[in-house]
Chains A and B, each alone.
Chain A
Amino acid sequence: NAGVTQTPKFQVLKTGQSMTLQCAQDMNHNSMYWYRQDPGMGLRLIYYSASEGTTDKGEVPNGYNVSRLNKREFSLRLESAAPSQTSVYFCASSEGRWGDTEAFFGQGTRLTVV
């Protein structure tokens, strides 16, 4: 049982390049989330998807787009990467609302924008 799987684990981009971070869960969870984690700060929510077919902005959505491709997959796209987007990105999923049900994190993607 893989849980939440993110790809890639590491990525280096040049400023202005685009890329998509992939996330897939095999727990049949309804809700999925994308967070970023910066040194000395807690996790900040970028986007979330409460259920298949819906997406909503979180605390820091600027510069990102998301797609809930199906119930299993939730991707995060950087259209034009900036150095300020250098961070560790975590995907997470939960069966129901976070707090009502436990959420599980992927292993993270370390992104560096130069």
Chain B
Amino acid sequence: GENVEQHPSTLSVQEGDSAVIKCTYSDSASNYFPWYKQELGKRPQLIIDIRSNVGEKKDQRIAVTLNKTAKHFSLHITETQPEDSAVYFCAAASLDSNYQLIWGAGTKLIIKP
């Protein structure tokens, strides 16, 4: 079955700098890759997703890149702000599978003032 590994587990960056979180997946059939943000004590919220027919997607300060050959995808946050502090999760799924999103273990992003 699918396995998703996420690195690093904790990332501390200076406010205004960029942050990059990386995930690798094992199932070459996976074709949907969402990223979720979870603030302390709150529910996960979708921030961006990408499908395997594109290599990059941007939404303001957030971008996701996908390398299908290497089976990895990354979240890029530019010009980080204090409100970006949270735990970020990647996930992978095959849209041919039965609804089973496989999640990474999460990255705690700390923005230092």
A: which residues have CB within 8 A of B? 31, 33, 40-45, 48, 50, 56, 58-59, 90, 97-100, 102-103, 105-108
Contacts and interface: CB of A to CB of B under 8 A. Distances in A.
B43 A107 contact: yes
Contact of B99 (A33, A40, A43, A102): A33
A95 to B, nearest CB: 13
A21 to B, nearest CB: 15
Contacts of A58: 100
Given A50-B98, A99-B32, A99-B49, 6 more contacts: A40-B105, A42-B4, A42-B105, A48-B99, A58-B100, A59-B102
A42 B99 contact: no
Interface residues of B, number: 24
Contacts, number: 58
A42 B93 contact: no
Contacts of A106: 43
Contacts of B32: 99
Interface of B: 4, 6, 9, 32, 34, 42-46, 49, 89, 91, 93, 95, 98-106
A44 B103 contact: yes
Given A42-B4, A42-B89, A42-B105, A98 B45 contact: no
A87 to B, nearest CB: 14
B101 A98 contact: yes
A42 B102 CA distance: 8
A97 to B, nearest CB: 6
Contact of B95 (A44, A99, A108): A99
Contacts of B44: 43, 90, 105
A41 B105 contact: yes
A59 B100 contact: yes
